[in-house]
Amino acid sequence: MEMTVDASKARSSVVPMAIVALLFFVLGFATWLNGSLMPYLKQMLQLSPFQASLVLFSFYIAVTFTALPSAWVIRKVGYKNGMALGMAIMMLAGLLYIPAAQTQTFGLFLLAQLVIGTGQTLLQTAVNPYVVKIGPEHTAAVRISIMGILNKTAGVVAPLVFTALIVSGFSAPADTVLTPEQINDMASGLVGPYLGLATFLALLALAVKYSPLPELPKEQDGTRGMAQLKAALAKPSLVLGVLSLFVYVAVEVIAGDTIGLFALSLGVERYTVMTSYTMVCMVLGYVLGIVLIPQVLSQQKALAISAVLGLVLTLIVAFGDSSSYAISNALLVPFGGTALPDTLLFIAVLGLANAIVWPAVWPLALSGLGALTSIGSALLIMGIAGGAFGPLFWGLLSGTGLGQQGAYLAMLPCYLLILFYAVKGHKLQRWN
């Protein structure tokens, strides 16, 4: 285990992994709140599907501008301090939601989303290399899967907490025009929970700052700045890995966050909890990854299977019958569950197809980078920017003759690229 601590004082990896696990839960909670916040703001501020997609765009576009600066910050302050600083920025963002809600200003909500995305980027850039470097490379996908379970479990919890704390006190049919009093009630409901989130993040930032989390060794490399970036871009497996993560996050966010908007359009009352359905399927996928990789399936084969499943499910969603409730009537309603359209449930099952992609791509893309690991990690984190453009394209296509359901066809080329990376792209060592 590569850590800059004296061997006599070296701790078990259990403590560092427990701390990192908590951070992954926090990342998941803050990220997947978007799945509830976006349709909630759509109803509250009477937004179009495209305008609502800007809630996600503002959150994820921050990655484009802050991933490489985040790598620079981490080289200066270290991984541990980088994590604490990332959470401090997220705390400031939490406070921004309060004036946004009080003034009901869409632009302030977008600014808050941009700031929290910036903090997330710094935290992601610092925390992901820990999981890859803390054990053998060939089992890195398993460790990332464990972190992913916590991240996506937070994605299950976040919409339920959002609904309990914010939506439970508000009651209005999903497809009605709200009165000014109802809009004020919806806006006021956001203040207390986001103040609580900001307080929690501030305390956690201090806890990580003074925790026993050991520092990863600083990378020694003679190249700096653009020279280092050029060296990283000369690695096809890394560049294609970044592109794969870009389209992966695009489809992950489409499946996880637009499901609420689509449910709202279908008149589903509890649309703010729909993200939880997708996250449950993602958790199941991560569990399968831990069980099957590498004992039964290699990381590459698991990635290929995920891509094929994503292609099949995308076609089923786009051309399925939204008036059919056969699946939920057979599997959910007899056990006290809610009757939901089949197409919504197939969107949720996309979570199963998406689960293995992130943990499989990271070790394949970082393999053999050595001193370029931090810049490689930053470039991979930039792939999260796909979360900005996936829902944006979905929102644009929703305004065409395809409608919201047909707009899910935007995911097809994404899964095709992931399939290419699984079969061939990760093997490429040089550009021809």
pLDDT tens by residue, 82-132? 899 999 999 999 999 999 999 999 999 999 999 999 998 898 888 877 777
Residue where the block lists tokens 């000014």 = 180
Joined tokens for residue 132? 């890859």
- The better pLDDT of the pair 349, 372 is held by 349
Q: Which of 165, 139, 202 is nearest to 13 (CA)?
A: 139
Is-contact 61 388, C-beta < 8 A?
yes
For residue 247, pLDDT over 90 is answered with: yes
* DSSP SS3 for 178: coil
For 314-335, write each residue's pLDDT tens digit.
Answer: 999 999 999 999 999 998 889 8
Its pTM stands at 0.77
Joined tokens for residue 78? 């270290």
What radius of gyration do the chain's Cα atoms show?
21
- The better pLDDT of the pair 237, 169 is held by 237
CA 113 to mean position of chain CA atoms: 14
Domain boundaries, the chain: 11-215+223-427
For residue 432, pLDDT over 80 is answered with: no
Q: What is the pLDDT of residue 326?
A: 93
Mean pLDDT for the stretch of residues 17-29: 84
State the virtual CA torsion across 362, 92, 56, 236 in degrees, nearest 10. -30
For 380-429, write each residue's pLDDT tens digit.
Answer: 877 888 888 898 899 899 988 899 999 999 999 999 999 999 998 888 87
Q: Which of 233, 202, 178 is nearest to 382 (CA)?
A: 233
Joined tokens for residue 14? 């259990």
Q: Which of 174, 235, 194 is nearest to 30 (CA)?
A: 194
* DSSP SS3 for 369: coil
For residue 138, pLDDT over 50 is answered with: yes
For residue 144, pLDDT over 80 is answered with: no
Q: What is the pLDDT of residue 394?
A: 93
User: Which of these ranges, 112-121, 183-192, 256-265, 285-294, has the smallest mean pLDDT?
Assistant: 285-294
Cα angle: 426, vertex 429, 432; to 5 degrees = 110
Other C-beta atoms lying within 10 Å of the C-beta of residue 224: 10
- The better pLDDT of the pair 18, 101 is held by 101
Q: How many CA atoms lie within 13 A of 381 on its CB side?
A: 29
Q: Which of 141, 354, 150 is nearest to 244 (CA)?
A: 354
Please name the residues in contact with 196: beta carbons below 8 A apart, sequence gap of 6 or more: none
Q: What is the pLDDT of residue 156?
A: 86
Domain 11-215+223-427 superfamily per CATH: MFS general substrate transporter like domains (1.20.1250.20)
Output the average pLDDT for the chain: 84
Residues listed for the chain: 432
